[in-house]
Amino acid sequence: MTDRAPQPVDRQLPTEESRDLLALVREIAQREIRPKAAEEEDSGRFPREVFTLLSEAGLLGLPYPGEFGGGEQPYEVYLQVLEELAAARLTVGLGVSVHSLACHGLAGYGTKEQQGAHLPAMLGGGLLGAYCLSEPASGSDAASLTTKAVRDGDDWIITGTKAWITHGGVADFYTVLARTGAQGPKGITAFLVPGDAEGLTAAVPEKKMGMKGSPTAQLHFDGVRVPDARRIGEEGQGFTIALAALDAGRLGIAACAIGVAQAALDEALAYALDRKQFGHPIADFQGLRFMLADMATKIEAGRALYLAAARLRDAGKPFSRQAAMAKLFCTDAAMSVTTDAVQVLGGYGYTADFPVERLMREAKVLQIVEGTNQIQRMVIARHLAGPETR
Ligand SMILES: Cc1cc2nc3c(=O)[nH]c(=O)nc-3n(C[C@H](O)[C@H](O)[C@H](O)COP(=O)(O)OP(=O)(O)OC[C@H]3O[C@@H](n4cnc5c(N)ncnc54)[C@H](O)[C@@H]3O)c2cc1C
């Protein structure tokens, strides 16, 4: 890693409070998160204590109402916080985004009693959440999920397997989508399941290409009993709840992608200014200058796109199409920028002595999670041309 600390990004922030917030996040990121990122990603250590610290600093509930312990920040501010965290370490930025996704259902569709009972601990009480939609045989076609919840008096009994769950096995609560009715999207209901529920076990985490510090695991529900008071929304409303969370979550992924890309550009630029060949810093050569210019342009364009979508959301306007566009563009930009960063560093870029190879491996997952980029294109095309008629 280069010793030079990256220059702060020139951000547009709406208030003095949000500028102070970003300064605090940047300080935590540079002091507590970035220095351990390479070593812990290599060893696969999950930094649970960082999430506790973020919760204590009020950073795990930023876009949620103050009434229940949230930070009441606009989405445009929350996303820039995520970007800073992801630039320091994707496991943390994406982890906060997933936690926020897991809180979305209860915050948006829970009753006041449920919100009062659970949200304060979820948003600022040190708890960590996970979001359970995917299954071994149901990924992009999420509405085909088969994990079942069957009514038993005042309880539900959940049985089935969820797959690819970020924080699987380490989370304190799980927002779980399960089938309570007929096939298809209308037969799905959402539940808030405690992490220590009897009958709930996590498999050994997946061995992944990157983000090795973030546990991704299958979860087995073997007759897990959940009171009806933990059902979120109406019976059959689960898929609507899941998709609403994903619209907001996709913006989180977009912001994380720009954080990863920015970190890669910062490394590439510092290296190019330092490394000499043919008697000159390699940053003098037009071939690399143009590459750096293109990288920076993609990052600025991506940031502008996710912020435009966030501002629509903050204004209470529809933003689903723009969220899909931001997720698609920003994650493709991150893949391209991190790949170019490896190129700028030459052979050194291909080694673990510099972070750019890790950033390139991390960028890849962002094109897959919360709807692959093929699925984002389908969403965008449906907004443009309506549903497919074939
Ligand atoms: C590290 C990691 C963390 C994750 N975290 C979570 C989590 O916390 N919670 C959760 O619920 N899920 C999580 N996921 C799952 C993730 O959302 C899915 O992997 C993703 O939705 C794709 O599903 P799939 O892997 O089953 O691929 P598939 O759906 O099998 O897709 C395989 C390929 O086919 C393409 N494809 C599928 N259908 C179409 C179509 N109609 N048109 C064109 N192309 C298509 C896809 O784009 C992809 O390229 C995570 C995944 C990973 C890798």
Whole-angstrom distance, CA of residue 309 vs CA of residue 320 = 8
Q: Give the residues surrounding ligand 1 with Cβ less than 6 Å away.
A: 98, 130-134, 139-140, 164-166, 208, 211, 216, 365, 368-372, 374-375
**Is residue 362 pLDDT above 70, yes or no?**
yes
- What mean pLDDT, rounded, does the chain reach? 97
User: What number of other Cβ atoms are within 10 A of residue 196's Cβ?
Assistant: 8
Contact 221, 147 (CB under 8 A): yes
Q: Which one-letter DSSP state was computed for residue 74?
A: -
Question: Would the pLDDT of 1 be above 80?
Answer: no
**Which residue among 166, 206, 370, 372 is best mutated to probe the pocket of ligand 1, counting the most ligand atoms within 8 A of its Cβ?**
372
For residue 345, the CA-to-ligand 1 centroid distance in Å is 31
pLDDT in tens, 281-332: 999 999 999 999 999 999 999 999 999 999 999 999 999 999 999 999 999 9
Kindly report the pTM of this predicted structure.
Answer: 0.97
Whether residue 5 has pLDDT greater than 80: no
Question: Which residue type is seen at 14?
Answer: P
**Tell me, what's the pLDDT at 8?**
82
Asked if 193 and 176 count as a contact pair (C-beta separation under 8 A), the reply is yes
- Note whether 113 and 103 are within 8 A (CB): no
Question: Which atom of ligand 1 lies at the shortest distance from residue 138's CA?
Answer: 26
- pLDDT, tens digit, 9 for 90 and up, residues 24-70: 999 999 999 999 999 999 999 999 999 999 999 999 999 999 999 99
Rounded to a whole number of angstroms, the CA Rg of the chain reads 21
- Site of tokens 């309570």: 180
What separation in Å is there between the alpha carbon of 282 and the centre of ligand 1?
39
**Contact at 8 Å (CB) between 69 and 103?**
no
